[in-house]
Amino acid sequence: MKCRQCNSISTRVTATSHKGNETWRYCRCLDCNARFKTIETYAIKKRGSIPGVKQHVNCLRQGLNNGSSILTKTNVLEIRRLAATNHTYVSIAKVFGIHKSTVYRIVKRKLWAHV
- Domain membership flag for residue 23: yes
Strand partners of residue 27 = 13, 36
Confidence of residue 20 (pLDDT cuts 50, 70, 90): confident
| Structural domain boundaries enclosing 74 | 60-107
pLDDT in tens, 48-85: 555 566 656 556 677 777 777 789 899 999 999 999 99
d(C-alpha 41, C-alpha 43), whole Å: 7
Domain count, the chain: 2
pTM of the model as a whole: 0.50
Max Cα distance, the chain (Å): 71
- Domain membership flag for residue 115: no
- Domain membership flag for residue 54: no
pLDDT in tens, 82-111: 999 999 999 999 999 999 999 999 999 988
